[in-house]
Amino acid sequence: MTKAQARKEALERVKKLSIEEREWASGAICDALSGIDEVRFCHKPFVFLGTPTEPNTEEIVGLFLMMERDVSVPRVEGVTMKAIRITPYTNFQKNRWGILEPVGRGVCPDPDLAIVPLVAFDGLNRVGHGGGYYDRFLAGRDIFKIGIAFDCQQVCGVLSEDFDVGLDMVVTEKRVIRADKEEKNIFGEKI
């Protein structure tokens, strides 16, 4: 399956979810993340701010701010993406894709955890929107990479390319998939 086919298939499934189902799933994903050691003990988390077809990350960002972590979120500048440190008082504006980005300075050069969006996923293989921003940002960094998505976004047999950066973990509203291949439901029980 090509990435374009994976994106189309996954997005069609997401569009069938009601607003209430997406809200519930976003909350379940946040709850699952809060119990993961790599999330609980990180110091400089980097978290995407998404679109209506992606899990809502506002609760995750709020949790990190409450824990007094150095939280950063993406800002696209040309063909690169930077991690911009935010506070509860940061101002935001929408970029050309309608995604909120922080206004001002505050680059965080070395986050230790990245929570990234997935349009589709096949195990720990991530299919993004196709711009390569996250692959370029994550490449060569010593950072724990967690992709979050609705469970219906899983596809099978997606073809990855040499420049694709793999994930360490995928979290959905139903399960956690880790690089050690031990798949668990959101309650931490082996599947």
The residues spanned by each domain of the chain are 3-185
Report whether pLDDT(104) > 90.
Answer: no
User: Among 26, 59, 20, which Cα is nearest to 171's?
Assistant: 26
Q: Which fold has domain 3-185?
A: Rossmann fold (3.40.50)
CA 11 to mean position of chain CA atoms: 16
Q: Give me the mean pLDDT over the 99-115 stretch.
A: 86
User: Among 58, 16, 70, which Cα is nearest to 148's?
Assistant: 58
User: Among 182, 60, 29, 38, which Cα is nearest to 111's?
Assistant: 38
Of the pLDDT bands very low, low, confident and very high (cuts 50, 70, 90), residue 34 is very high
The predicted structure's pLDDT at residue 28: 96
Kindly report whether the global pTM for this prediction surpasses the value 0.75.
yes
* Beta carbons of 146 and 118 less than 8 angstroms apart: no
Q: Which tens digit of pLDDT belongs to each residue from 137-160?
A: 998 889 999 999 999 999 988 877
Classify 80 as helix, strand or coil: strand
The sign of the dihedral angle between the CA atoms of 78, 100, 15, 147 is positive
Q: Give me the mean pLDDT over the 19-37 stretch.
A: 95
Report whether pLDDT(182) > 60.
Answer: no
